Amino acid sequence: MSTNTLLRRNLSLALPPTSPLPPPPPPPPRAPLLSSYDVFLSFRWEDVRGKFVDHLYARLQGLKVDAFMDEKKLARGEVIEKSILTAIERSRFSVVVFSLRYADSEWCLDELVKIVRCAQNKGHVAMPVFFHVSPDDVAGQAGVYEEAFVKHEKGFKRKRVENWRKALITVAGISGWCLGENE
């Protein structure tokens, strides 16, 4: 069994069975991927820490999947942004947990842009989880995502906001997991 197949199976065991696994990864990467982590977890702290993400992280660790979660893996004194972007580059998969306030965070959106770039250039695989939000709202930037982008358009350069929008559309278009209130 290939390492990617084994990681996909372990990820599916860690996530609830609400929808099938995403399609197989694209053809082999253009450049070799030097991985330090199996999975990078991208999430909005206020929405899911102490809830879903902590349980997911513990489950992945129990399955011997090496997951990067900033609180658990960042050493004191490290430059946060650089360390996080490097962790994305050195991970084979990313689980992106879209939640109500995910789009409020420029950090989360910058992570998402990096995840999409790594998927396009290095064979990285993004796997979305929609936690109390609809995939359609994420992709279409509707509801709370629309409100966040109204603010972003006033405070950030247009190119950066466009990159965030494109990244949301790209990852929201991947088959993932939808989790409601009690899941």
CA distance 105 to 36: 25
Q: Which of the residues are catalytic? A: 111
3-state class percentages of the chain: helix first, strand second, coil last, to nearest 5: 50, 15, 35
Region class of 143: left (phi > 0), else alpha (psi between -120 and 50), else beta: left
Closest CA to 26 of 170, 166, 138, 178: 170
Helical packing angle, 52-62 and 3-14, nearest 10°: 140
Q: Do 136 and 174 meet the contact criterion of CB atoms below 8 Å apart?
A: no
CA distance 16 to 26: 24
